[in-house]
Chains A and B, each alone.
Chain A
Amino acid sequence: MIKVEWLYWLVGLVFVVMAVQMAADRTNPKRWTSAAFWGLLGLTFPYGTGVAAVEPGTAAWRLPAEPLGVAVLALIVLAGFNFLGKGVPVTTTAEQREASAVRLGSKIFIPALTIPFVAIVCASVLDESGLFETGKATLLGLGLGCVVALVVGMLVTGEKKVSVPLHSGRSMLEAMGSALLLPQLLAVLGSIFALAGVGTQVGEIVNTLLPENSKYLAVIAYCVGMFLFTVIVGNAFAAFPVMTAAIGWPVLIEQMNGNAPAVLAIGMLAGFCGTLCTPMAANFNIVPATLLELKDQYGPIKAQIPTALALLVCCTVIMALFAF
């Protein structure tokens, strides 16, 4: 049986290999601290095997969680105080890429489409086969899909060196920087909020405001709450753990027996409606205005607000009708 921990070790290994490449890259002015960040992140993946929640008696080994907590804080410091840098990527020129696009045509899309194809096959056809750890077929399918897609990609492009995709992947990693880790950090924050009882507190406030058992009002509170919180902070990912711990999980799912995937997926999208409306989400709304040399930097937001409000209504209605 293929275990999800094996995939985590592979991901960790990829980070460590890229970190070694970074340490050797003299074009990166912050190569040592960059390598420390990605290397440390890579090591947290196998270490996490000993910390993660498992069914009792099934763990191969157990490790204390505190050192991992220290590592997480170290990652936060490295990312938070701007210790991550970029090297000069060694890549093809624009002309070479244009020529390659003409040569390969739409065949270039085949490897990219291999990833979701393999993932879907694993999640549907192979899920029952017992090949994968229970409940992890999709995630493992993704990992497997990437490995298959890499082979297909090298065949399609005629690339022979494995170092090439690793190098290009590393350049993308450097370009994304700590933004790559943000979703995981926000998931951590959500867990700490739940442990410390933030959700219970917000939930109590909401409960005093909401009439007992009023499903529709609770749905509206969750969707509009996600929307407003996202408009304020500019990031639906940051709003999600707070609103879910306050209303989504305790009220809509536990109290009113909502369908968890429906409530959570639609709640996140209600947050996305907020992202469309806020200058706080600068990279999506303000950066394009600058790139397009608009005099009105709120132009894209103005074009998006009516769509976003209509979609917020859709989210609320679909959740109210189909999630219970």
Chain B
Amino acid sequence: MIVLLGVVVVILGFVTRRNPALVVGVAGIVTGLLGKMDPLEVLAAFGRSFADSRSVTVFAIVLPVIGLLERYGLREQARRLIGRLGKLSAGRFLAVYLLVRQITAAFGLNNIGGPAQTVRPLVAPMAEAAAERKLNASLTGRLREKVRSYASSSDTVGLFFGEDCFIAIGSILLITGFVNSTYGQEIEPTELALWAVPLAVCAFVIHGARLLLLDRQLEREMALASAEHDLPLPKGADK
């Protein structure tokens, strides 16, 4: 039972925002010692499992290629392509962005999007502009927040449920590294990535549908807001 203190160390460490590397080190040492290993055995366990899980860090070899391409405008070109989607409604635009983010992440390009790279400079302003064009009125503060929040969510959901279809992403390699070194298995990254595909489809269907519903919500809430404040109805709205 007492070895479970190692799990407590992990929880406390992450919850109190300690440096994750330190949390892992302390939790490993505590668990090993409580599990009746002597200090040398703990060191050997660190060394052996580190050697067995080297595959997890192999993805670093992608960095020079991506670095070179970013230097030559990879992100700028991605932005230019997204910029061509300007004519869609807010919800449809975000749904297309979600799909683009999933597909690019599934090909290992998980760095071309992101809150700082695309959402703030591009996706959020374009979604706001699209919503205002459709409603023919400027958004209330609360609805502007809502559009921005959904812009951020389409980026994050797209990343999470796209990247696992790529074989060289940290999470897939963590699974193979952990299972293959701990249980002596020979699981290949491709087998894991394959199982991420149906969930990527579910994610697109579910979040995409919610993004499309956002258009209607915006219309309804704008109508309510303008009625409440006794403002003139936005042009083009029926009621």
Contacts and interface: CB of A to CB of B under 8 A. Distances in A.
Nearest to B191: A261
Contact of A240 (B43, B145, B178): B178
A220 B227 CA distance: 46
Contacts of B124: 292
Contact of B198 (A51, A178, A240, A318): A318
Given A187-B178, A233-B11, A269 B45 contact: no
Interface string A162-185: 001111111111000011111111
B114 to A, nearest CB: 9
Contact of A139 (B3, B11, B58, B109): B58
Contacts of B166: 116
A235 B141 CA distance: 32
Contact of A101 (B25, B76, B155, B161): B76
Nearest to A50: B51
B152 A138 contact: no
A192 B21 contact: no
Nearest to A53: B52
A159 interface: yes
B27 A189 contact: yes
B54 A135 contact: no
A280 interface: yes
A302 interface: yes
Q: Is the interface of B mostly helix, strand, loop or mixed?
A: helix
Contact of A92 (B48, B57, B71): B71
Interface string A287-322: 111011011100110111011001100110010000
Contacts of A294: 145, 148-149
Nearest to B55: A139
A102 B173 CA distance: 35
Given A241-B178, A260-B179, A311-B161, A71 B171 contact: no
Interface stretch (A22-30, A72-80, A206-214): A72-80
| Chain A interface size range | 35 or more
Interface stretch (B85-93, B132-140, B180-188): B180-188
Interface string B53-88: 111111111111111111111111100110000000
A114 B58 CA distance: 17
A168 B70 contact: yes
A137 B186 CA distance: 12
Which of A70, A164, A311 has most chain B Cβ within 10 Å?
A311
A236 B42 contact: no
A15 interface: yes
Given A169-B63, A180-B57, A268-B171, A201 B4 contact: yes
B120 interface: yes
Interface string A91-125: 11000011111101110110111011001100100
Given A101-B73, A115-B65, A172-B66, A135 B56 contact: no
Given A108-B77, A111-B65, A300 B4 contact: no
B57 to A, nearest CB: 5
Contact of A193 (B31, B52, B199): B31
Contact of B188 (A10, A138, A185, A242): A138
A73 B167 CA distance: 28
A196 B53 contact: no
A180 B62 CA distance: 12
Contacts of B184: 53
A166 B177 CA distance: 26
B231 interface: no
Interface in B94-119: 107-109, 115-116, 119
Contacts of A251: none
Contacts of A232: 11, 14-15
B45 A191 contact: yes
A183 B174 contact: yes
B153 A192 contact: no
Contacts of A168: 63-64, 67-68, 70-71
Nearest to A10: B61
B140 to A, nearest CB: 12
A111 B77 CA distance: 14
Contacts of B66: 112, 169, 172
A208 B114 CA distance: 43
B196 interface: yes
Interface string B14-56: 1100011110110110011011010010111111111111111
A150 interface: yes
5 contacts: A169-B63, A169-B64, A173-B63, A178-B19, A195-B37
The 4 closest A-B pairs by CB, nearest first: A196-B35, A168-B67, A68-B47, A101-B73
Interface of A: 4, 7-8, 10-11, 14-15, 41, 44-45, 47-49, 51-53, 64-73, 75-77, 79-82, 91-92, 97-102, 104-106, 108-109, 111-113, 115-116, 119-120, 123, 134-135, 137-139, 142-143, 146, 149-150, 153-154, 157, 159, 164-173, 178-198, 201-202, 232-238, 240-242, 244-245, 249, 260-262, 264-266, 268-269, 272, 275-276, 280, 284-285, 287-289, 291-292, 294-296, 299-300, 302-304, 306-307, 310-311, 314-315, 318
